[in-house]
Amino acid sequence: MTTITRSVTWRIAIGYGALFGLSMLALLMLIHWSAAAYMTRQMEAVIEVEVQGLAERYRIAGLGGLRGLVAERLARSPASSSIYLLADPGFRVIAGNLTGWPKAARSAERWIEFRLHAAGDDPAGPEWHRARARHFELPRGYHLLVGRNLRDLDEMRSAVIRAVAWGVGVTVVLAVAGAWWMRRNVAARIESINRTSRRIMEGELSERIESHGSGDEFDDLIANLNAMLERIETLMDDVRRVSDNVAHDLRTPLGRLRTRLEQLRDAGGEGTPAALTEAALGEADQMLATFNALLRIARIETGRRRHAFERVDLATVGDDVADLYAPLAEARGITFRHSGIESPVNADADLLFQSLANLLDNAIKYTPEGGRVTLQVTSEDDTVTVVVADSGPGVPPGEREAVLRRFYRLEPARGAPGSGLGLSLVAAVAQLHEATLTLGDNAPGLVVRMQFTRAG
């Protein structure tokens, strides 16, 4: 019983079975009441017509003519359910198919119901039926009773009650069968999800829930869960990779910082402590910048900056970044060009500025003297595209996804200043804004495209 009460499939099946049973019961009872009311109205209308006809016969032919008409009708169909009774002012029977005037028929009510004894072959006792009749008082105090035996109506009601009982019984059987089927199929699929979840909790993060390929709601749920598991596995890999890279990349500056501090402790020449202190501060600033960049990327990836979105002209942001980096490009002997048209997007202006600055910083850093760097902002239909291209060494196709990860640096760039977080921040900003980020070949060099949805 505990299993049934805790099982959602059983509760749903039993609930729907009860609801269907009650609905069937209400429907059959409505049919029963409607049919009974209709038959009662029809019967009363026929009785009214008969009473009027018998009263007219009494007015024309007197008591003898009325008694003869009653006898004639009874002789014509002796086994019918019709009731005729003619009595004198003292309710003594003159003619009819009842042995005596019913006690209930002596009231002043026009329509009466009473129990009617019907002779039968049942040795257990007499058979009784309900009867409904119209009491009509004739001139000179005579009484006329015309009615019908309600045996047929009662049998119809009994048949409906039996049908209701059978219907409810069949509904319960179907509900139990449906619950069994639902538990066998639905619960099996739920158990498949639980089984995979348990294996994942045990550390097998590569496990995925098997889909039946039916395209139903369970398959949609499984697809979403697998996508979530894929994302979790990626994040866990990122965490492990970041931990390894942090340990690797910070080991060198921490070692240099320790060396500087030892030299500062042992320094004896004048002016040397200041130089060593400055070098130590530089190493500390580099580590702080690395940690600040990590925190900034983490906050961006949580999506907490979405509330700061506003309508921003991406071309204006591009102009501001270009103004900042144009002198640096000129100082390094690099040709820098930028262009843009009005391109409204819903975004965080500060993050867009930071991501474009990172792209231009990388492009200028790795482009040799005499090379070229371009920044272009275009708008077409419902999209806004930012393109940053350079003529540097570029990124091999097999490593274009890897360079978007934290701390990942190409082998030729490992000796250059930086922490390998610039493109990671760009990727996080693109993900936050639901933009498409792609890296391609500029032949020579690298071309980076960010495609946003244009603001309406």
Domains of the chain, earliest start first: 2-157 (3.30.450), 217-301 (1.10.287.130), 304-453 (3.30.565.10)
Whether the predicted pLDDT of 275 surpasses 90: no
Joined tokens for residue 236: 């866990």
Closest CA to 358 of 273, 289, 288: 289
8-state DSSP, 211:
P
pLDDT at 2: 47
Q: How do residues 202-248 score in pLDDT, each as one tens digit?
A: 777 778 878 777 777 778 888 888 888 888 877 777 666 665 566 56
How many whole angstroms separate alpha carbon 84 and alpha carbon 359?
108
Q: Residues for the chain: how many in total?
A: 456
pLDDT-derived band at 290 (thresholds 50, 70, 90) equals low
pLDDT at 451: 92
Joined tokens for residue 272: 């040397």
Say what percent of the chain tops pLDDT 90.
7
pLDDT-derived band at 1 (thresholds 50, 70, 90) equals very low
Q: How do residues 29-78 score in pLDDT, each as one tens digit?
A: 787 788 778 888 888 888 888 888 888 888 888 888 888 888 888 888 77
pLDDT-derived band at 385 (thresholds 50, 70, 90) equals very high
| pTM listed for this prediction | 0.46
pLDDT at 309: 80
Whether the predicted pLDDT of 174 surpasses 60: yes
pLDDT at 197: 82
pLDDT at 372: 93
Selected residue with higher pLDDT from 303 and 153: 153
What average pLDDT does this structure show over 164-183?
Answer: 75
Q: How do residues 406-454 score in pLDDT, each as one tens digit?
A: 666 665 555 455 566 778 888 888 888 888 898 998 888 899 999 999 9
How do strand 335-340 and strand 143-149 relate by DSSP bridges?
Answer: unpaired
Q: How do residues 138-159 score in pLDDT, each as one tens digit?
A: 888 888 888 888 887 778 778 8
Widest Cα–Cα separation across the chain: 155
How many whole angstroms separate alpha carbon 232 and alpha carbon 433?
20
Mean pLDDT in the chain? 78
Whether the predicted pLDDT of 120 surpasses 60: no
Say what percent of the chain tops pLDDT 70.
75
Whether the predicted pLDDT of 201 surpasses 90: no
Cα 423 to Cα 79, 401, 404, 417: the distances in Å are 102, 10, 5, 14
